[in-house]
């Protein structure tokens, strides 16, 4: 049964959806610094207001223009809050500093992090945006078209994996960012080519940052970039780990840190609001939900302060 607080939150979100777009976005953005939990609940409950129709809108975020589908929960969050995964964004900006030359966005989705990386590297570096699902890749290309000055991005419509071949992907309308190798009831399916990153990025002498968010296929991606890691040709890997999904795909969550450690990488994870040496006990305390770890060849990212909220 809904509590009064739940009802109030639902009404508040509905109001934000009904008022003119800029005012609704301003209302939720104003809540962000002080009322993170309310923001989380409002955005989650917002799914109740969606009928699945592909409502399109445009928004400018940090001088980047994005065409967003409000029926998709990730794109809707970007629209209303002006951000997505603030901690990941902070790591990305820190890793792609003045000396950086290359960023690989593995699981690029609609291009939010791709565009931020492209702006960071504009005039001196390049971005490889890897996105296998056809509709998501189309949205990614559209957002790149809307930011034509960022001409330093190459889109690879394929899936990073441990071998060359094909795979069937599954995505639910309204949640394309959660496209998976796992069959999902009622999901759309599409075939995609698979390529190891060792082959795809063979021409890059050094990748400053690889951001990997592949809904449980982490172990397959890491196996396909073992050569890059062994040669320490990747300065940092930001990996969003989904333990439950990984197990369903035949991987072992516990093996992920060892993949990096055997190649001499240092492991960092979020502790409070700081990126700090990974506490293994805390990291492995539960295998539910998702979390990220950062593997680096040096200590440049250690101590980085991470903003809270989406």
DSSP track, 5-35: HHHHHHHHHHHHHHS-HHHHHHHHHHHTTT-
Helix (H, G, I), strand (E, B) or coil at 72: coil
What's residue 189's pLDDT? 85
Q: CATH homologous superfamily of domain 86-296?
A: Vaccinia Virus protein VP39 (3.40.50.150)
Going residue by residue through the chain, which has 310 residues, state the pLDDT in tens, using 9 for 90 and above: 345 544 454 445 445 444 445 555 555 555 555 545 555 555 555 544 455 555 788 999 889 999 998 888 888 888 888 888 999 999 999 999 999 999 999 999 999 999 999 999 999 999 999 999 999 999 999 999 999 999 999 999 999 999 999 999 888 776 776 777 777 777 778 899 999 999 999 999 999 999 999 988 999 999 999 999 999 999 999 999 888 888 988 999 889 999 999 999 999 999 989 999 999 888 888 777 778 999 999 999 999 999 876 5
What's residue 25's pLDDT? 55
Q: Give the separation between CA 110 and CA 198, rounded to whole angstroms.
A: 24
List, in order, residues 6 or more apart from 66 with CB less than 8 Å away: 58, 59, 60, 75, 78, 110, 111, 112, 115, 143, 146
Q: In the chain, where are the structural domains located? A: 4-81, 86-296
**pTM across the whole model:** 0.84
Helix (H, G, I), strand (E, B) or coil at 199: helix
What's residue 120's pLDDT? 97
């Amino acid at each position: 049964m809904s509590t009064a607080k739940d009802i109030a939150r639902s009404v508040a979100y509905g109001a934000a959806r009904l008022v003119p777009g800029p005012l609704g976005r301003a209302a939720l953005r104003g809540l962000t610094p002080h009322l993170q939990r309310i923001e989380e609940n409002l955005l989650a409950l917002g799914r109740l207001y969606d009928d699945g129709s592909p409502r399109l809108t445009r928004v400018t975020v940090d001088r980047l223009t994005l065409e967003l589908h409000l029926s998709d929960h990730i794109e809707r969050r970007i629209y209303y809050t002006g951000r997505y995964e603030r901690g990941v964004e902070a790591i990305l900006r820190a890793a792609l500093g003045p000396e950086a030359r290359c960023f690989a966005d593995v699981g690029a989705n609609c291009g939010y992090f791709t565009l931020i990386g492209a702006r960071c590297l504009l005039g001196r570096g390049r971005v490889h945006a890897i996105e296998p699902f056809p509709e998501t890749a189309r949205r990614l290309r559209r957002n790149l078209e809307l930011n034509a000055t960022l001409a330093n991005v190459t889109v690879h419509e394929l899936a990073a994996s441990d071998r060359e071949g094909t795979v069937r992907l599954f995505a639910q309308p309204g949640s394309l960012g959660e496209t998976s190798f796992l069959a999902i009831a009622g999901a759309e399916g599409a075939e995609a080519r698979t390529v190891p990153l060792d082959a795809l990025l063979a021409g890059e002498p050094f990748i400053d940052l690889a951001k990997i968010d592949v809904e449980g296929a982490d172990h397959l991606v890491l196996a396909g970039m073992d050569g890059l890691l062994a040669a320490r040709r990747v300065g940092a890997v930001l990996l969003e780990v989904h333990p439950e999904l990984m197990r369903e795909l035949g991987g072992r969550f516990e093996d992920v840190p060892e993949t990096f450690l055997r190649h001499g990488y240092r492991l960092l994870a979020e502790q409070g609001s700081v990126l700090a040496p990974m506490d293994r006990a805390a990291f492995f305390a539960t295998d539910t939900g998702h979390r990220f770890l950062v593997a680096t060849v040096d200590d440049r990212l250690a101590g980085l302060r991470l903003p809270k909220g989406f």
